[in-house]
Structure 1
Amino acid sequence: AQRWLVERYPAAFAASAALFGMTAVASFAIAERLPFNALEIIWAPRQLVWLAANYALLILPFFFGATCVGLAFCRHPGQIGRVYAFDLAGAGIGALGIVGLLFLVFPSTALRFVAALAFAAAAFAAFGMVRHRWLAACGLGLAAAFVAVSLPPSWVAPEPHMSQYKGLRIALEVPNARVIEERSSPLGLLTVVESPTVPFRHAPGLSLANTQEPPAQLAVFTDGDSISAITAYGGDPAKVAYLDRTTAALPYRILKRPRVLI
């Protein structure tokens, strides 16, 4: 099989790169739709089946990506060091690039760009084919453009598969609670929730002796959990005087003029 693939190196490389692009999107999309819940593994053995299915799906892009590298090694046995150097350099540039990209777009959109790059690499490799090179290259180039621009978001992921026990899912069960803003970065997905019917009152460490009700708040969830709050403040310190009765205010009570790093 190795000799057969090496003899057809451009076509084999292009096919592997294209399959990487396809499975990068398809494997993630299917895995998101599996009814896997890690919290149930202890008492529901069927979750082990879904866990194995997740691994089987998510290993496919890595397999086809590694196939591209392995084919390059077999095709250029005398330049393995050079090929490996380019492989590591590409991995480093890709890692930095995806971190920067995640500041601009949501993870599902970033995944589309990764898949589009794979199809573009496949199109470039197809130019080395002996037969039908232009047809293959143009077809793969169009696939790259479609994935990057026109692929419906629902094909990548309908919505993040989030545990029902996370704070965000529980907060959205309250009548009239709704998500009013979402922002994504490499540090996590921030979700801002408004709940006019049952307002949020988030004041960790608040003293039991406090008698002041916190003003209206918006809840901010990081990756569906780790709640924090945005408190309405109109410029009147008396409205947020309850903060002086939290444990976070202790350093300001002990020191007269503490130096604070924000």
Structure 2
Amino acid sequence: MYSHFNGKNILVTGSAKGIGRGIALALAESGANVAIHYLGSSKEAEQTTRKVKEIGVNTTFVQGDISNFDDVQKMKEALDRDFGKINYIVNNAGWTQVKPFFQYEPDEWQKEIDICLNGVLNLAYVFMPEMIEDSQGKFINIIGDSARTGDRHLIVSGAARNGAVSFMKSLAKEVGRNGIQCNTVSLGMIDQGEFDETMKEKLVKQYPLKKLGSRDDVAGMVLFLLSNNADWVTGQVFSVNGGHSMLG
């Protein structure tokens, strides 16, 4: 789809399976070299890496906890050694608990904050200096729409991701002079096969387009933002949500 991805090295975090796998495969099919990242899903990461390799591009997989700064540094060291310099990052890694705030214990919310906010900071701090040196690079962070609209069952992850939105906007201003773009993709409900038909019928009533999203919908937006067609786009939040929310 985008031939100018040829030769680009792109790290997709949380790409062993699900939406991240869909993004990784779409990038590979467009000619990008793709580094697969995982935390605990080693078998799935190996499977995705094989699928990417079959497409005919360079690939590797790397393990690490993005909320841990030392882990992110080790990820970069491994990629530098086994894959090459990272040109673009797509952060799809995240973690959330589905429950109201007052059902949390005080020590339960830190993990969500560490992954959904601090993980974004860690990735930028470790990988972006080389992008600055090269005067080019792109960083996309993927969040759920609860970060923009609020959701009483996703209250902590939504707050952390909203902080990441603010960070990405400010970062876009800081590194824009170096030719680097930072954008956020905000998702509605993506159908990954976990809903039966009865549940789907209930869910789609919330969406003007009367359907849930697909991995291809997400991958299409990511590919556009990473492409040359979006070289004058930065500091923005793009909703892929079937019209569920229409914030200005």
- TM-score tier by shorter-chain length is under 0.3
Structure having the higher Rg: 1
TM-score (norm. length: structure 1): 0.24
TM-score (norm. length: structure 2): 0.25
